[in-house]
Every structure is written in structure tokens, then in C-alpha cells.
Amino acid sequence: MNEMEIREKLVDYGKRLVAAGLVQGTWGNLSMRLDEGHMLVTPSGLDYNRLTPEDMVKVDVTTLDYEGEQKPTSEKGLHAEIYRRRPEAGAVIHTHSKYASVFAAARRAVPVERPDLKKVFGGQIAVGKYGLPGTKTLWKHTIEALGNNQGCIMAAHGMICCGRTMEDAYDHCLKLEECCRQYVEDGNERDEEKMDIKEVLVRQRAFFNEGVTKDLAYRRRGLLKLRAAVKHHEDEIFDALYRDLGKSTYESYETEVGLVYSEITYMLKHLDRLAKPKRVATPLANFPSKSVIFREPFGSVLIMSPWNYPFQLAMVPLIGALAAGNCAVVKPSNYSPAVSDVIAKIISETFSEAYVHVVTGGREANQNLLSQKFDYIFFTGGKVVGRQVMESAAKHLTPVTLELGGKSPCIVDESANIALTARRIVWGKFLNCGQTCVAPDYILVHKSVKSKLLTALVKNIEALYGEDPINSKDYSQIINEKHFDRLSSLIEGEDLYYSGGLDRARLKMGPIIIEDASWESKSMAEEIFGPILPIIEFDDLRRVKKEIEGRPKPLALYLFTRSKASIKYVTKNISFGGGCINDTVMHLATSNMPFGGVGDSGMGNYHGSYSFRTFTHEKSVLHKSNLIDVPLRYPPYGRDTKWLRIFLK
């Protein structure tokens, strides 16, 4: 590795420690500019050669010299932050010595007697071992400042890594990283669920107010880093999706990872155009002037994602938020813990928590997040929690996007291509074991083709998943026992036309078709969100319209037909979030169209340019000329409105 590569690795390493909550730190004399959101606790003016324990106890934080690459810390409004953290940090040290990499101020102490620390560091501090001028003095004063933690200073309150060369420093970083890995594996990592989210928001707002994220080059670098991180962790993502949902690698790429790559590619390609101020026409009443719309980020946004597509439904909104210039807090679902852990790992390795932070946990974590004042909230999930999100947001007047769900109808009229219709319905319905918010919830089929459709559905189920679907490697599983039991209750007492099998122990539920369902069936009372497909016949499309209109507006609607009249009638007269003609689900994979619900199925939209718009405020600015000032608007007003009517009509 050349020197710059080593410097970059040192910086990345430090960022991982910071993001994991193990270290608050700074890097000494690194020439490359660092994210200033990391520089939160280390006053760089304290030279280690002059440091004494008294300095750490009595220092006046309002008079510290904040020289160095961090720029004046006072500009960041962090004096109080430094002062508040100083007793916790124990010793805060920074050096600008040549080729030194220094990390200081660990957030949590580790017991001196820990055997893994003794193994890694030999049970004592190697005073002067690294040959850095003044190192012995550095150790001496650090030990004094830390009191009784002398035995393992490098992992107790201060984590210090330095070297004669960059190679030495990096080599020691690897040892320290191993120590941190053991620390995490032993269950002593910082509890992210109980982390003070207010602290994160303070950091994010301070970082956002610096204006760094408004730089398009910075946004682009962030997206590139995210893409590289996802690529690096692809196998872990696939493994996590299999553990949580039983997804195959192919399906995981098709419906999760591939869509994330596609969204990043879109944003990188179109970012300049999307962010460019837009000149619009100015009415005669404002002559002479020009009107411009500026697209500015909101600030710190909260993204709450569900468990059914846990990776892409967290990442795709995040991509839009970052492309738009926001900071973000991501809250993945507690029901998909393996994927949530991978998301947290990717984000912590890629960004500082002052830019992007992941909060894991369950209901308590959600409530804690919703009690905070974010600048925007993007929620994907069920209606019950969606209402709670909106209620909480209303208390702070926070704008929201709600991506909810509903019972999405699939209409098959007498002119449809039954063979192709059945194949596309089976794919869209049983993808992810039916746990897709836009999956066809039920079929409305013209009675003249019902029998043919039923036969074709079974034929395609067996073609795609075999005669024993629950044992197909391409067929996913139900998320948990609670959801499995709820779905099982929907088919109790029903006459099943087809069942692909049930295995509660493995959370496997095969495709199920209810032949003679009615509007009063149990499966029609709520969104199914599983592999159960009720079939209702009709003979008049106008009756279908009336039944659908009598229920909450669906997130999606699908129509299979060859009739232009049917297409025109349905698209003109039935309200729904989005949908397809002669296909299912695929409308959400089109970056040039918005995806979102209407009414009970949600509000707002995203994907592609619509994600950028969702996460930006359109600021209107009228730039008036000083050359001419039309007196018409000023009093005293005359009685003749002739000229006024010319300007305002």
C-alpha cells in the first residue's frame, strides 16, 4: 500500500470506531480533509508534551485553542458538548506529530482484568515502544489522568494508536480492531437501542448546518461509498435475507439488492439535473423580475422501514434522502433482525453517525424516535403504526410520507390472455411468500373465464415452485409464528381449491387458492399479506367498480384485458395508488414514475426523481429588479382600475 492508501484506511478505521460508539476520536496530522461531524470531543489545541492531569480537570473549554484541520470548533457550537463529555472521556488527547494516528476518549470503560485485552496488549502498556518523540510523556500523563485504569489504558478510557510510520500506525490499528471485535462479540458493545437519540440529532443538526451535505460532490461521494459498501457486503445481505425470510439469492438480488443498485445509479446519473435551480415564468404583475425554485434538503430525516423487503425498503428511501442532501436516521424493523444488523454494519462502516445513523430495537425504540423532532419522517409499514407516526409527527408539525398498504385487487376480464395472466399473477402474488405490499390481494375474474384461470393458476404454481412448493428453494417463508397463525386463521373453514402445504415449525406456507370467496369472507376483511389468494367472480365491470369504491383506496390495482374500453373505464373511474395493465408488481420498478398510495394506502411517493422531490423543500425566490418600480401597487389608490386589470387578469 502507498501512503495515501494507508491514510485512507486509518481514516476509515477511525470512522468505524466512532460509528460503533466505542471511540470518540481524532486523527493526528492526516493531510486529507475529514468529515467534521466526527470531530466532537477532542480539542486539538492540547499538545501532549504540555498535557497534565490538571489540564484535564480545570481546563476552560471556552478558551481552548482549536487549531488544526478541524477548523474552529466554536463555529460548530460544540463547546458545551466537549465540556459535558470531558468527565466521561477521562483524557482527551490530540497530536500533530508527523505520521502519528491518535485515537482518544473511549465512551465506555472496559474492566482492567479482561483476559482478551491482556492477550492483545500483553497486560501492560509498552511505554515508548513505538518510538514516537514524546511518547513516554504521553503515556505518563495519560495514565495519571485516568487514575486507576493503568493496566489497560489502550482500551479503558483512552484508545491511543500511534506509530513511527503510517505502516506502524495501521498495523496497530488492526490489533485494536481485533480487541473491539472481541468487545462486541462478548456483548459489551454500546446498546444502540438505548442510545440517546437526542445526542445523535444534535450532532446531525450541527453537521447539517455546516453546509457540507449541500455540496453535490459530497452527496455523490456518499452514494458511491454506499454502493461500494453494499457490494462488499453482498454475501452477508443474501445470508441475512435467507435467515429472516428464506429468500433465495436470486430473489434477493431481483427484489432487494438489484433495486438498490438501480436507485443509486439513477441518482448519480441525474443528480445535477435534479438539484439544479429551476427558472419559471414570472407574471406581468411582477415585471421586471425573475422567478427561481431552489431545491433544498430538509435537514435530519427519519426513515422507518418494514420487515418484508427489509433491505431495499430501508436503502431506497435513504438513497433519496442522501441524494437530496439530508442527514438521516434509519430504523429497520425488529422482525428482520439479521438484515437490520447488516444494515447497521454497512452504515456504521460507511458514514459517521453525524451523517447517517441506524437505530435498532422494537417498540420502545420506535416510540423514542417518534418523540423527537425530525425535519421529515418517511415511514413504510402498516396502517396502525402509520397513524401513530402521523399523530407523533403532527405534534412537531413534521411533514411525512406514509407508504402503507391495503387490499390490492386484480381484475381479469373475459378478453384476457389467460395463460400469461396466470403466470404473472402467480409470480406477483407468491413472490416473497405473498408478503409484498403491492401483491395482488384477491382476484376478480369474469365468470366466463374463471375455470380456465383456476386451472392455469395451479399449472403455473407447479411450474414455478414444483409440486411441493414449501420445499422449493425459490419459495420464501413467513416472517414469524404470529404472522403464520394470523394467516392460518383466515383459511379456517374455507373450501380450498389448492393448497401448497403448511409447516408451522419451518414457517412455511405454500400457495393457497380459495375458489368461491365472497366479499364477506374472512380473507376479505383485511389485507392478507401472505400466500392466500381469494377468487371472486363477476359479470359486470360496473359492479366491480362499485365494490372497490366501497372500500379503502388500494395501494395497487391490476387489470388483465385486451379491451381498450376496459382499460379506459378502470383507469379513469377507480382510484388507486398505482398499478399495471396485464402485469403485476412491476410498476414499482420504474424509476421514472412515482410509487405511493392514496387515501388509506398512504400519502406521498418516491423512487427516482420523486424520491429527490420528497426529501427536498422547493423554495421559491422572486428576484426583483431595482431599475424599474411600477407605482401601480402603492397608495394612494385611484378609482380607475384600468391598468390594474391589465396586470391582474
List residues with catalytic annotation: 403, 437
User: What residues are paired with 496 via a beta bridge?
Assistant: 514
Longest dimension (CA), the chain: 95
Alpha helices by DSSP H, 550-630: 564-573, 609-614
Closest CA to 528 of 454, 604, 451, 438: 438
Backbone angles phi, psi at 391, to 5 degrees: -65, -45
Tracing cell 445509479 back to the chain, one arrives at: 265
Count Cα neighbours of 645 within 13 Å in the Cβ-side half-sphere. 4
Omega before 636 cis (within 30°)?
yes
**Any idea what the Cα angle at residue 332 is, between residues 599 and 477, rounded to 5°?**
85
CA torsion, ordered 190, 196, 202, 207, to nearest 10 deg: 30
Cell numbers placing 82: 466537549
From residue 567, alpha-carbon distances to 42, 535, 561 in Å are 65, 21, 7
Tracing cell 379513469 back to the chain, one arrives at: 572
Angstrom distance (rounded) from CA 286 to CA 268: 37
Angstrom distance (rounded) from CA 364 to CA 369: 9
**238-261 core/surface letters (b: 16 or more CB in 10 A; e: else):** bbbbbebbbbbbebbbebbbebbb
Angstrom distance (rounded) from CA 348 to CA 345: 5
Query: What is the full DSSP assignment across 107-175?
Result: SS---TT-HHHHHHHTTS--TTTT--TTHHHHHHHHHHHHTT-GGGTTTTT------SSHHHHHHHHHH
Q: Going by DSSP bridges, is the β-strand pair 289-297/278-280 parallel, antiparallel, or unpaired? A: antiparallel
Omega before 288 cis (within 30°)?
yes
Query: Quick count: other Cβ atoms within 10 Å of Cβ 228?
Result: 11
Q: Which residues contact 114 (CB under 8 A, 6 or more apart)?
A: 152, 155
